[in-house]
Amino acid sequence: MELSVVIPLYNEEENVSILLARLYEALGSDGYEIILVDDGSTDHTVHQIQLYANEQVRSISLKKNQGQSYAMNAGIALAVGKYIVTMDGDLQNEPSDIPRLLNKLKEGSYDMVTGYRKDRKDAWHRTLPSRLANSLIRSTTGVHVRDYGCTLKVFRAELAKHLDLHGELHRFIPVLAHLRGARIGELAVHHAPRLYGTSHYGLNRTLKVISDLLLVLFFQKYWARAMHLFGIIGLLLIGAGAVVLMYLVSLKLFGQDIGGRPLLLLGIMSILGGLQLVSFGLIAEMLYRLHQQKHIEIEKITDHEQISSGKKPTFQPMPISARQI
Ligand code: UDP
Ligand code: MG
pLDDT at 88 over 70: yes
Q: What is the pLDDT of residue 300?
A: 60
Q: What is the pLDDT of residue 301?
A: 56
Do residues 147 and 51 both lie within one domain?
Answer: yes
What CATH number does the domain containing 123 carry? 3.90.550.10
Q: What percent of the chain has pLDDT over 90?
A: 76
**Minimal-distance CA residue to ligand 1 atom 18:** 199
Least confident of 166-175, 181-190, 196-205, 313-322: 313-322
For the residues 185-201, what does the mean pLDDT come to? 91
| Count of CB atoms situated within 10 Å of the CB of 123 | 10
For ligand 1, say whether the CB of 38 is within 6 Å of any of its atoms. no
Q: What is the pLDDT of residue 248?
A: 97
Do residues 215 and 291 both lie within one domain?
Answer: no
Q: What is the pLDDT of residue 296?
A: 67
Q: How much is the pTM?
A: 0.82
Do residues 253 and 169 both lie within one domain?
Answer: no
**Minimal-distance CA residue to ligand 1 atom 19:** 199
Q: What is the mean pLDDT of the chain?
A: 90
pLDDT in tens, 96-109: 999 999 999 999 88
For ligand 1, say whether the CB of 168 is within 6 Å of any of its atoms. no
How do the residues of the chain divide into helix, strand and coil, expressed in percent and rounded to 5?
55, 15, 35
Do residues 158 and 265 both lie within one domain?
Answer: no
Do residues 172 and 239 both lie within one domain?
Answer: no
Do residues 202 and 186 both lie within one domain?
Answer: yes
pLDDT at 305 over 90: no
Do residues 156 and 213 both lie within one domain?
Answer: yes
For the residues 162-166, what does the mean pLDDT come to? 94
Do residues 279 and 202 both lie within one domain?
Answer: no
Whole-number Å distance, alpha carbon 200 to ligand 1 midpoint, is 6
For the residues 168-192, what does the mean pLDDT come to? 95
Tell me the C-alpha to C-alpha distance, in Å, between residue 55 and each of 51, 164, 231: 13, 26, 53
At 185, the amino acid letter reads G
Pocket test for ligand 1, best of 10, 11, 94, 150 (most atoms within 8 A of CB): 10
Do residues 180 and 276 both lie within one domain?
Answer: no
Question: How far is C-alpha 81 from the geometric centre of its chain's CA atoms?
Answer: 20
Whole-number Å distance, alpha carbon 247 to ligand 1 midpoint, is 58
Starting from the CA of residue 8, give the closest ligand: 1
Q: Which of 173, 203, 221 delimits the end of a domain?
A: 221
Domain that includes residue 252, residue range: 227-324
Do residues 246 and 206 both lie within one domain?
Answer: no
Read off the DSSP letter of residue 61.
E
Ligand 1: nearest atom to the Cα of 66: 8
Query: What's the domain count of the chain?
Result: 2
Q: What is the pLDDT of residue 316?
A: 41
pLDDT at 319 over 90: no
pLDDT in tens, 228-271: 999 999 999 999 999 999 999 999 999 999 988 999 999 999 99
Ligand 1: nearest atom to the Cα of 12: 11
Q: Which of 221, 236, 260 delimits the end of a domain?
A: 221
Do residues 186 and 275 both lie within one domain?
Answer: no
Q: Which of 182, 206, 221 delimits the end of a domain?
A: 221
Pocket test for ligand 1, best of 15, 88, 191 (most atoms within 8 A of CB): 88
Residue 121 or residue 47, greater confidence: 47
For ligand 1, say whether the CB of 201 is within 6 Å of any of its atoms. yes
Q: Which of 33, 52, 4, 31 is nearest to 12 (CA)?
A: 52
For the residues 73-95, what does the mean pLDDT come to? 97
Q: What is the pLDDT of residue 298?
A: 61
Residue 204 or residue 161, greater confidence: 161
Question: Is residue 6 very low, low, confident or very high in pLDDT (cuts 50, 70, 90)?
Answer: very high
Assign 3-class secondary structure to 107-137.
HCCCCEEEEEECCCCCCHHHHHHHHHHHHHH
> What CA–CA distance (Å, rounded) separates 155 from 86?
8
Tell me the C-alpha to C-alpha distance, in Å, between residue 112 and each of 3, 102, 227, 250: 13, 9, 32, 63
Do residues 121 and 176 both lie within one domain?
Answer: yes
For the residues 172-180, what does the mean pLDDT come to? 95
Pocket test for ligand 1, best of 68, 73, 94, 208 (most atoms within 8 A of CB): 68
Tell me the C-alpha to C-alpha distance, in Å, between residue 21 and each of 28, 154, 269: 10, 20, 63
Q: What percent of the chain has pLDDT over 70?
A: 90
For ligand 1, say whether the CB of 39 is within 6 Å of any of its atoms. yes
